[in-house]
Amino acid sequence: DAAPDAAPDAAPDAAGEGRRGRGRPAASPTGTPPPRGKVGLLAATEREYTEALAQLTLAPRAAQRRAAMAAAARESVATRFSNEAFAQAFCAEAGRLLA
């Protein structure tokens, strides 16, 4: 099997719309921590994963919470990984290296 990001639909349709920006949830014990509960839930133990999944599936208003979390995550990806954000970071780093 190909890695998820190597799949044909992993290429962005527009800035920030790659596979990670389409509202599909992901679980990982690594990476940059998101704002707690806004765009995702962090879990380091089996119990924490179980509790997080329960919050998103069994808790009252779980569907609304998932929808709000997905919308916030899409906005975060669109902002943090936009062409403008990349250009600003690239120019800042190039300026630092060339100074």
Q: What is the pLDDT of residue 8?
A: 43
Beta-bridge mates of residue 36: 40
In a 13 Å sphere around the CA of 72, the CA atoms on its Cβ side amount to 14
pLDDT per residue as tens, the chain (99 positions): 444 444 444 444 444 444 445 556 566 566 665 666 788 888 889 999 999 999 999 999 999 999 999 999 899 888 888 999 999 999 999 999 999
E strands, 1-99, where? Answer: none
List the chain domain ranges.
4-98
Residue for token digits 């062409």?
83
Element of type H or E holding 56: helix 46-57
- Which among 34, 32, 13 is positioned nearest to 22, based on CA atoms? 13
Q: What is the pTM of this model?
A: 0.56
Judge whether 74 and 23 are in contact, CB under 8 Å.
yes
